[in-house]
Amino acid sequence: MVSYKRLTPEEVHFSGAALLDSDELTEMDIKENDPELPLLPQSPRCSITAALLTLGGLIVILSAVWLLGALFWIHTPLSKEPHRPPAPKRQGETWMQPESCLQTPESQRFDCFPERAVVVTEEMCHARNCCFIQGLQAKVPRLKGVPWCFYTPEYPSYELVSNDDTEIGWLGKLLRNKKTYYPKDIDALQLEVMYEEENRLRVKITDPSEKRYEVPIDVPVVQKRALNLAYSVEFIKEPFGMIVKRLQTGTVLLNTSVAPLFFADQFLQMSTSLPSRFLYGLGEHRSSFLHDLQWNTLTMWARDVPPVELTNLYGVHPFYLSMEPDGNAHGFFMLNSNAMDVALQPAPALTWRMIGGIIDFYVFLGPDPSSVIGQYLDVVGKPAMPVYWALGNHLCRWGYKTSNKTWSVVKEMRNFGIPQDVQWNDIDYMDNALDFTYDPMSFSTLPELVKDLHKHDQHYVMILDPGISSSQPSGSYWPFDEGKKRAVFINDSNGDILIGKVWPGLTAFPDFSNPDTHEWWSQNLERFHSKVPFDGVWIDMNEPSNFFDGSQKGCPDNELENPPYTPGILGGTLKAKTVCASSLQKFSSHYNLHSLYGLMEAKATESALRKITGKRPFIISRSTFPSQGKYSGHWLGDNRSQWKDLATSIPGMLTFNILGIPLIGADICGFGGSTTEELCVRWTQLGAFYPFSRNHNSIDEQDQEPTAFSPAARTAMKEVILLRYSLFPYLYTLFHHAHVSGHTVATPLLFQFPNDEKTYAIDKQFLWGKSLLVTPVLEAGLDYVVGYFPQGLWYDFYTGDSLRSSGEEIKLQAPTDKINLHLREGSVIPTQRPNITLWVSSGQPLHLIVSLSEDGWAKGDLFWDDGEALDSFELNQYAFISFTKTMTSQVLHNHEEATYITVETVSFYGVKVKPENVTVNREEAAFTYLDNQVLSVSELGLNLSQNFTISWM
């Protein structure tokens, strides 16, 4: 839930230049790509008219630039300590711009003056000993964002003065002989290169003389260097650079010599070339799945703001996946939680700019995209296995206003036979927005509602915000009184409790870096659970969000609040709509820990729910950080009921799957604004294939539960939710593979087709796992959709009709009551007869759908357990069955749960010739065969816990 309804233009400061289409070329690009252009520029024909027109045009352009600069300056919030200007040159000192400046192509110009709200002059640039080429000197239109001030190729940096072998790799010493233009340079650095795995490299650059902040998440500790490395590491001594190559192909994965290394107390910068323009990840931002490298800067600093482009959003994930020209992939993870900019440019190249911590990064060599994600999650942690009902249909809104209204919505869903597993409440259930309370008047029947949900095999989730009211009468509000006694709240720089403002008014913020806070938080949850036996927790507003900038008293004027460089944060300062950066937490300052707040709260909540319920915790968090998937899922924030928001939810979902948080979805039908019937139907169809599927609505907007619409719309929504429930065995198995191996649940097409470059930018379609292709309608008024089908054989999920593609776009019929689904050849999909809750559905017989390859084979698997026990896989309390060849079931790991399930029906798609007979475990069985080559065998009654074989002749 957003902390305010609307942003004014003055509050929005984009974190990068405006994006342009990739077909806009630089002058050099035009010359290189057009053989008809002369090698030397031709002299233009002169005339008085032409001269006047040229002069007039120049005046107009200069006026426009001046006006834009003035407007940008006016709309930039003032801080008490603006960015420091470069030190002035000594009297008589000059700097001659070298010839190499003119020889540097635009795409390879690395910004020497990244500060925002500054119009860089030649004098300012040369004060930093950098090249200056003003954009208006261009002969042809330049791309927006090309820096006027950029580093020379020989710009001074560190020198590698020693490099010694260690048990795990190399230990080097870096020295800087010339000061930079940021204060408190660290002149001597330690370089540690660790060959941790054959496909994983780790590099740390630290200050050997003084301990600096490092991110407190668990990562593997490796003692011995790996053998048979898939990469090589080379060093350039001066200016220092590091080059990492893939040995098999020679592809350069990392080359830091393209721009100088900076390591000052509050400014760290490292650049690298990229092997291609295909880059993904770097959350959380609203954008296409494939990032635009046309001078696009992504800022990372957790922030409460409705999703908009070019703005730092709720979470911070400094990880990217890069595709290489030959279809291989690699990943890069910068383990740093300080505010940062990640600058992308069309060289292709990338620059990290961070304002604290150390440089600590990993390179993962895949070589395929799925392996890259698995290797990344080996470091930060694989996602938790969700409780079974988490994969059902969830319903919520801010503004039910009473427990009886909430209850009536649940009853309406039951009356219409629409599946629903979970009912939620937003903050209106609380007593005056106080955590761990419920309104004794409007929500007096909340405990009875929860009991009724449980009676019907349904579950209840409520919201909690971290802000704890500090203004209640002493002795009347246990959470604050007890928290103050135990000193669990964030303090200001003077050591007093920092007071902000959120929904209940003046508030204190728990310090989740303090172990004592975890115990206090758990006790609060346990006390409330004894009154309202909730099943899961929604932790919101945990960037943390604050209606003040900093605190009730403001923030001190110091270097933590006003660093020498401030990334492109919405609001222009670190304290904007959060707590002071200089505030004190148990582990470190908030300056360092800010973007970890949601992760630390999720960890405390997960631990508490394990103890309280004795079952797998269910937590959805708004703010996230690497390793979050171990503790919670995520939703994409306060979207709007617009077609654009429907479409952008797919790249958001795909991005979080590669970031290791597969339990992800967007608010179905939109949160803000009122939906339309058509939009809500189409969104429900797409939302049925979000890994986390929740319809969530804002206060005082039009109702958008499925029961609120016409019979036709209601039926369409019901049918697609039933379809999701029928696919539960397949979806549950996908989450098992995510938990054990780090696989994606919602999968980008490029992951399965890395040699098909046409899939690299697709984010209007996606796969569930490897096999089920989802092609939703994302625009109004359409009864068709165009989808891309990679080369191979595909089958219509509903009918079994085959579609053979050479790698092409195909127009599909898509009436309002249908979402297009196709099965990839060679797959076995376990489905189940659906019901109104997953508890009932999960006991129903299985129907296996087998989509045969051209050669007549298929494979798949099924993971099955009781759906809620803690650590069932780790404790061997599960069954695992593989399906191979034409159809052979093999129980690889058995468990009691499998004995309760039978396989009732098997359908084979792509059986080219009608069989004369079908045998099941060598006994003849009845079958049907259709003209579209679909063979079905039914009434099997095969026990899932026993092997079986189906064959035909």
**Annotated active-site positions, please?**
540, 543
Closest CA to 299 of 243, 376, 216, 355: 355
For residue 72, give Cα distances in angstroms to 14, 465, 510, 561, 917. Answer: 11, 35, 37, 22, 77
Residue 699 CA neighbour count, 13 Å, CB half? 14
- Look at strands 948-952 and 888-893 and give their pairing: antiparallel
CA–CA gap between residue 674 and residue 753 (Å, rounded): 39
Amino acid at 306: P
Question: What is the CA 716 to chain-centroid distance, rounded?
Answer: 30
Phi, psi of 405 (to 5 degrees): -65, -40
The residue type found at 717 is M
In the chain the first and final C-alpha atoms are separated, in Å, by 60
Q: What are phi and psi of 163, to 5 degrees?
A: -155, 110
Report, in angstroms and rounded to the nearest whole number, the Rg of the chain calculated over CA atoms. Answer: 29
DSSP 124-179: HHHTTT-EE--GGG-SSPPPTT--SEE--TT---EEEEEEEE-SSEEEEEEEE-S-
The torsion angles phi and psi of 301, rounded to 5 degrees, stand at -175, 115
Spatial CB neighbours of 640, under 8 Å, sequence gap ≥ 6: 306, 670, 671, 672, 673
Residue with tokens 């046409």: 758
Bridge partner residues of 170 (DSSP) = 165, 193
HSE (side-chain half, CA atoms, 13 Å) at 95: 18
- Round to whole Å and give the CA distance between 731 and 743: 12
User: Residue 36 carries which DSSP code?
Assistant: T
Question: How far is Cα 316 from Cα 319, in angstroms, rounded to an integer?
Answer: 9
Phi/psi zone of residue 659: left (φ > 0), alpha (ψ -120 to 50 degrees), beta? alpha
How far apart, in whole angstroms, are the C-alpha atoms of residue 856 and residue 848?
Answer: 16
Residue 332, beta-bridge partner list: 320, 363
Please give the single-letter amino acid code of residue 874: E
